[in-house]
Amino acid sequence: MAEKDPEGIIATDPSDNDDRKCLIIRKLLKFNPKEVFTWQLVKTVAMGQGLAALICGTAVTSQYLASDYHVDAPMLQSFMSYTLLCLTYTTALLFRTGDGNMFPILKKRWWKYLLVGLVDVEANYTVVKAYQYTTLTSIQLLDCFVIPVLMILSCWFLKTCYRPVHYVSVCVCLLGVGAMVGADLLAGRDLGSTSDVLLGDGLVLLSASLYAVSNVCQEYTVKHLSRVEFLGMVGLFGTLISGIQLGVLEHNNVANIQWDWRIGLLFAGYALCMYTLYSCMPVVVKKTSATAVNLSLLTADLLSLFCGLFLFQYTFSGLYMVSLVIILVGFIAFNAVATTPDPTDPIAPSVGREEGGYDNPDDVIEEGEHTGVSWNQRTQNEEVPAGGRITKM
């Protein structure tokens, strides 16, 4: 036990240190890799890298449009993606019954989804505009700002409790990003403009903050309400907002496009990659978290660079492989230990979130007919025992 000496200085009992050492040794001896490196973890890593590959697809098609065809219409690209979401998921909401129908949702939460749609559209737009003012290196580094903002917002709004291993894992991933940026500098790929670096860096930070807000809203919605509801509302309001912004800001750029089948194919490829990304991301977010998904997306730049080695004759550096390994190690470590919801949170989902289980009964019927009974209404008549299963009183 700790005791105070006559001078008031706390003295540590050597036996306490011995007990801690023994405890650590026992934990190491009991460590079973099969309990950490599970099939669920493998699926999480695979799904995360699938999302990163979709981001890579959007980057490659955008690069071709900009470099080979001199097309500068990012809002048109976003408008096409949101339109696809609107045609599928918003239409699906129209055919639902009860409270799951589009009109009751709009009546209750229209202004919330309007803000989410605005945030999502402007997050995509501001990061594209940043390339006109600052360098690729600055964008790659500052774009990582989304992760600490996400963790803060998750702790604040979603009541997520992170453990020390999660903070260490994030630092490892950011170290991998640093290695990637260093490889870019050594390879002479510090692309972009320096016309107004301060403005460009500010746009990147703004974009990262907006992405964090959008991702937190997405995580809350898919875990407490419905994936189809989120995508349908984002598709609806994203189409309206991006359409207005397209008409105001890019009508001249769109009119000057020399359309042919190649340009049309590139636009279609971008829209399909982004549509698939939006459709699949909520599934991964529900099984993990928005923070974990954004950690997995850190490898998207590396996948784009590997594609650029063959498509755009980029210079290879061994640091790219080092960066990829470091980011993947950090991502695996982050997902190997589950985050825990705050037990004091009255709306915290039940046990089993990390295993991909349903957080509330509404999720079980997400793709089918909605019963029109909210989660809060159900909990008034149902009891949730310690095991997390729901039983009628």
- Three-state DSSP class for 168? helix
* pLDDT reported for residue 105: 93
* pLDDT reported for residue 193: 55
* pLDDT reported for residue 210: 94
Which contiguous run of DSSP H or E holds residue 40? helix 39-67
* pLDDT reported for residue 379: 36
- Tell me how long the chain is: 393
Taking only the tens place, the pLDDT of each residue in 263-294 is 999 999 999 999 999 999 999 998 888 888 88
* pLDDT reported for residue 228: 94
* pLDDT reported for residue 389: 34
Beta-carbon contacts of 244 under 8 Å, excluding residues fewer than 6 positions away, are: none
**Confidence class of residue 385 from pLDDT cuts 50, 70 and 90?**
very low
**Confidence class of residue 15 from pLDDT cuts 50, 70 and 90?**
low
- Angle (nearest 5°) at CA 368 between 42 and 233: 80
Average pLDDT, the chain: 77
Q: How far is CA 335 from CA 147, 299, 348, in A?
A: 15, 16, 19
H helix intervals, 131-257: 136-142, 146-153, 164-186, 197-224, 227-249, 251-255
Mean pLDDT is lowest, of 91-95, 132-136, 240-244, 324-328, for: 132-136
Q: Count CB-CB contacts under 10 A for residue 147.
A: 21
* pLDDT reported for residue 176: 86
Question: Are 78 and 237 within 8 A, CB to CB?
Answer: no
- Angle (nearest 5°) at CA 365 between 157 and 95: 100
* pLDDT reported for residue 270: 92
Mean pLDDT is lowest, of 67-76, 125-134, 301-310, for: 301-310
Give the alpha-carbon dihedral of 341, 346, 350, 355, to 10 degrees.
Answer: -30
* pLDDT reported for residue 128: 81
Taking residues 328-345, report their average pLDDT: 73
Q: Count CB-CB contacts under 10 A for residue 7.
A: 6
**Is 216's pLDDT higher than 90?**
yes
Which contiguous run of DSSP H or E holds residue 59? helix 39-67
Beta-carbon contacts of 355 under 8 Å, excluding residues fewer than 6 positions away, are: 40
Tell me the domain boundaries of the chain: 20-341
- Interhelix angle 102-130/197-224, rounded to 10 degrees, is 150
More confident site: 177 or 117 = 117
Closest to 358 measured CA to CA, from 384, 325, 319, 326: 384
**Confidence class of residue 339 from pLDDT cuts 50, 70 and 90?**
confident
- Interhelix angle 227-249/261-287, rounded to 10 degrees, is 140
* pLDDT reported for residue 370: 39
* pLDDT reported for residue 312: 67
- Three-state DSSP class for 55? helix
More confident site: 348 or 365 = 348
Residues paired with residue 392 on neighbouring β-strands, in sequence order: 382
